Structure 1
Amino acid sequence: MPNFTPITLAIAHINDTHSHFEPTPMSLAIPGLDERIYANVGGFARISSVVKAFKEEAKSTTDGFLFLHAGDCFQGTLYYSLFKGEANATMLNLLRPDAMALGNHELDLGNASVSRFLDQINFPLLAGNWDVSNECDQKLCPVKGKRQLLPFDPLHKIASVMLKQFGDQHVALFSVALDKMADIAMPDADTPFVNAKQTILDTVAHIKEHLGTNHIILLSHLGYEQDLKMAEEVDGLSVIVGGHSHVLQGDFSNLGLGDMGPYGRLIQNTLVVQAGCHAFALGKLHVTLDAQGKVSEYSGSNYLMLGRSLSMDASWDQSLPAEAFTQAKEYLAQQANVLHCRGDETIKSVLNERYKPAVEKLKSDVVTKLPARLRHIRVPDEKGGSEIAPLVCEGFLHAARNRGHQVDFAIHNAGGVRVSLEQGKLTAAEVAGRLLPFAIDLMLYKPTGLQVMQALEGAIDNATNNNVEGTGDGSFPYTAGLKYRYECEKPKGSRMTLLQYRDEKGTWLPIEPGSIYTVVSSAYTSQGKEGYDSLKHLAEPPYSIDVTLSESFIEYARTQESLVIMPTTCASYVPCPACTSE
């Protein structure tokens, strides 16, 4: 029997944790101190402590408690590079969320990694617009039929709904993710994502008509702007707990971190919340929903979770002077958006004993040295292009050829390289944890010369918004063994005015449109993402060489006494002055 009465809930929420199990060094501004200081913020152990305390407090002040994760737990740190989804499953099981949304990075390696994750977790994974009903039954690691997965329901054309009962009342939860998932991740072709907005509309109507509650929570991995849009355009949602865009709602200017507006945006009776990223913040929400499911009252905040240590630098090599330490601690203790807490000892123990030793080993593994700083930039500017991305491509070639593959050249998208590299020793941890943190395989594929030309032009058009609405500058191509010239003012289809590859003798030869070439790229690029559309139409599908981005670069770097810009690497990109960014 429906029971349409008001309900008050306590909701703890996180999103986009990206394998940041340990606290993250964060630069903070303290009034009266000339320089910013560093604090170790967040981490799973502190999240666990705060959530447990919040849940206990909620027993006497609310009708029920929920702890939600709005997606993207994969990728991000060495813990993922080394242990993939297994470490996330273990650590999230210890946090005990009531539900998690599927994020796009969970699908960076296709369905198989999600399948293994589902076998290991003890909580529901909500994926309400992921239609897995036609997934091939012959797969070794399918997602269809997994007990913990709540996917799209094709019979009713709605998201699978999770009902939580609090006394004689129910709260309905469901999730949606970006419906253009195939453009930014790698879901298997037989498991498409259906329209997110239509799924929300149909699911809300179904809940109200058939499930006997007006109290509806959307766990969203659409991004903040889309969450606000859904709140405005869809009637009947009570709360949207969001992720994907890493928005830390709240005014953190008291710590030198800026002001993203108030915690909680109330639009058309629907409340939208989001809690930053990387496990450094936790959202704590109290919300009262009236009998129609509309928000009648709410309070709460995102909180940074701090321990006892402070430092002058992110490496913790320089401690704060005693007077400055006291001043900083006193100031931080007075801030309403800061929680000082001890971490959960069980989580610390599991992390330290099962996973951390392998991470620490990588931190002491020096693979080469850098005699000078190597700069990374996505789209070339007046100083030139990335000095690192071409070297990453050289690593692709080295890894492929070392495994006996005959490869003509390598291509990589700029967004797959994350940081500049400073002068000095380069460790395996720096490569796998910061430079190339996406644990994605290298793939071989065989395009025609025309497809190569179209892919490069499309990727640059996408990165520079040249007569197209691009998806970001991360698609800009860097290469090894291949050089090109792109002229932005030429007509579409003729902007590549030079395209050559280097043969085994070191001679530069023109790419012939009808010839077939063997190329090595990341699995992401080889699937034709973000402007590389022509690669979607290969005669044969790409195949993995069973080595990841970071592994290939580490192998290559070990063969180099020092990493420098080589003439052949520099020649692999010929910039066009007319289309370099301002």
Structure 2
Amino acid sequence: MPTINPLILSVTHINDTHSHFEPSPITLSLPDSHMQIKTTTGGFARIKNVVEHFRQQAKEKQQGFLFLHAGDCFQGSLYYSLFKGDINARLLNMLGLDAMTLGNHELDLGNGPVSDFLSDIHFPLLAGNWDVSHELPNKTKRLSDKPQLRPYLAKQKRADVVIKEFNGHQVAIFGVSIDKMSAIANPDPDTPFVSSLEVVKNTVKRLHDQGIKNIILLSHLGYAADLDMAEQVDGLSVIIGGHSHTLQGDFSALGLGFEEPYGRCESGTLVLQACCHAMFLGAVELEFNSHGEVTHHSGNNFLLLDEDCCQNASLTDGNSDIDDVDAKREAICALKQQDNVLFTKTENDIHDVIGRDYKPAVHRLESDIVTFVPHLLRHIRVPDQKGGSEIAPLVCEAMLFSARCRGIPADFAIHNAGGVRVSVSSGSLTAAEIAGRLLPFEIDIVEYRVSGKQVRLALEGAIDNAINNGINGTGDGSFPYTAYLRFDYDKDLPIGRRISSLQYRVENEWRSVEDNGLYRSVSSAYTTKGKEGYDALEHPGNNVRSVGVTLSESFIEYARTIESLEPVKPDMAGFQRF
């Protein structure tokens, strides 16, 4: 019987690209220098060029090759705001992915956009703990009949698996996503998510029973959960993950810090992740033994800089720019000495398609000045000693404004802090900045009827969730900001009694919100689904209906009416005591 050589596999990977198709700005410290260089990294065109380099390299070595995406390609940029999943499907096809796992942001607007995406992509979408077996038969946008979806196999209680063969070796690839998807996204009720741990255990056992030992899990669970999975499941070779935006690799020489080494081995399983926003590319060479264990790995997460960045980058000593070509060349040479920096061209067919078919619409919004911001409007999720967010209450004001402009006499607005992404710098504020950075998540604003008790419990639940007060919360993005609604919160009071002095504004008068009173509120569709502590808002009697405008559209509409964007006065900005 002929001897089969050990499997050597080259893998490139990305995750959480969030529609960042173009290179992202970055400031790097220069090794052994006080100077910094401002340039751009990543982007789909550079990623494609570098992946093709590694693909060709593997071919020359007669090794197997895979290019994988660990989820969350939707949302996050102006390109998504304008072109939704269509642009993702087109450009991801052009990248030449072998497989992608489902991210939570793919489900922000329900199953429909995922169904459309599945119709357009040329690679499998791995969703091994997504049970679509009981999907309602009368839906116009179905999942269960999409051949590119690799879901949960309910009868076998395991994931559907992609099998690749390299030099006589079989490699299994399957994917799982966050178990509690309905808590942070909007999957349709007829397509629930099941336990990722049980799915992984059952799938690995099935593969081992079939004699397949080389197993790659493509995960959208987050780095800590990936490490836990590696510890709890025997027989996984590699986990390639996303969701937590973890940057593995030592970039401290460039001023980016050092969180984790590239490729952490946990209980015999190699765990990898490549940050986010298409800024980095992970590339690793793996050697497997006959038991599917990775006996050797070499590679890195790579910053991807432009070959011509000497022309486009700027050099600074921290106080002023250095306009010296020789100094800039020396800086580039210093970067080229780093083993986790790659230089490549930015031009190829992806670059051309973006420039021809999509960028003109983005440019129009970039030149569309909506209002003026006289000074920085700070955004922070949970208030600190300096106070709370200055921009989130304005987002709430905008939601209320848009509703009232459409004849909806809403009493107040409530929005979660995580739906607002950045502080707003002083100067002209463009539509592109609003839709691309401040409010990049394309989510509808809805109006609904709500009792005073529901409002009080929702505010308390959201804050408890944000600060882990008596519960294990899902993150500080749940912290509530409001318009025409104010309250006190005392974390030391018993559950159910932490909100007091709850009032809403009628013209120039503040009135108490009564538990038994019925009010009209506006929020994002995300919040009214009872996500992240807002459980009390999810009630069939609330008569939720769309206002007909998204978060970014609302803020643009509101800001156009204001010559200068100022913070909401302290007595109008939600919480009074926290």
**Do both share a fold (TM > 0.5)?**
yes
1:353 is aligned to 356
Q: How does 1:16-415 map to 2 (within 5 A)?
A: 16-31=16-31, 33-210=33-210, 212-307=211-306, 308-309=308-309, 310-312=313-315, 320-415=323-418
Give the alignment's TM-score, normalised by structure 1: 0.95
Which has the larger displacement, 380-389 or 427-436?
Answer: 380-389
Task: Verify the 8 A CA contact 2:443 2:551 in the aligned structure 1.
Answer: yes
- Secondary structure of 2:155 counterpart: coil
Q: 2: distance between equivalents of 1:218 and 1:125?
A: 13
Q: How many Å separate the matches in 2 of 1:230 and 1:38?
A: 38
1:411 Cα offset (Å): 0.3
Task: Tell me the SS of whatever aligns to 1:176.
Answer: strand
Contact 1:15 1:69 in 2 (8 A): yes
The separation in 2 between residues aligned to 1:453 and 1:169, in whole angstroms, is 59
Structure 1: which 5+ residue stretches go unaligned? none
Distance in 1 separating the partners of 2:347 and 2:209: 42
- Which whole-Å deviations, capped at 9, do the CAs of 1:449-481 have from their partners, x for residues lacking one? 111110001111111222222222211111111
> How high is the sequence identity, in percent, across the aligned residues?
55
Please list the CA deviations of residues 81-138 of structure 1 after superposition, one character each: whole Å capped at 9, or x if unmatched: 1111111111101001000000111111111111111111111100000111112222
Residue 575 to residue 464, structure 1, CA distance change in 2 (3 Å): farther
Mapped partners of 2:448, 2:170: distance in 1: 51
* Distance in 1 (alpha carbons) for counterparts of 2:128 and 2:543: 29
Amino acid at match of 1:279: A
Aligned AA (1:348):
H
Whichever residue aligns with residue 450 of structure 1, its letter is K
Distance 1:570 1:324, change over 3 A: farther
- Residue 556 of structure 1 is matched in structure 2 by 558
Aligned AA (2:549): V
Name the structure 2 match of 1:514.
516
Give the Å deviation of 1:23: 0.6
The verdict on how the C-alpha distance between 1:320 and 1:17 changes in structure 2, with shifts beyond 3 A counting, is: farther
| Amino acid aligned to 2:393 | P
Distance 1:431 1:261, change over 3 A: same
Residue aligning to 1:450: 453
Q: Is the 8 A contact 1:10 1:62 kept in 2?
A: no
Is contact 2:4–2:168 with CA below 8 Å preserved after alignment? no
Contact 1:282 1:303 in 2 (8 A): yes
C-alpha distance in structure 2 between counterparts of 1:319 and 1:451, whole Å: 58
CA RMSD of aligned residues (A): 1.8
C-alpha separation in 2, matches of 1:541 and 1:169: 56
Deviations 1:378-435 (A, max 9, x none): 2222222211111100110111122222211100011111111122111111111111
| Alignment partner of 2:537 out of 535, 550, 559 | 535
**1:423 aligns to what?**
426
Work out whether residues 70 and 241 of structure 2, in 8 Å CA contact, stay in contact via their aligned partners in 1: yes
Alignment check: 8 A CA contact 2:223 2:241 kept: yes
Distance apart, 1:344 and its partner CA:
4.5
SS at match of 1:445: strand
Equivalent pair of 2:464/2:533 in contact (CA under 8 Å): yes
| CA deviations over 1:279-332 (Å, ceiling 9, x no partner) | 11111111111111111222111111101221248xxx9674323302211101
Distance in 1, matches of 2:18 and 2:448, equals: 30
Q: How big is each residue's C-alpha offset from its partner over 1:524-551, in whole Å with a ceiling of 9 and x where there is no partner?
A: 1111111111112341452222311111
Distance 1:561 1:83 in 2: 30
Output the amino acid matched with 1:545.
V
Report deviation, 1:54: 0.7
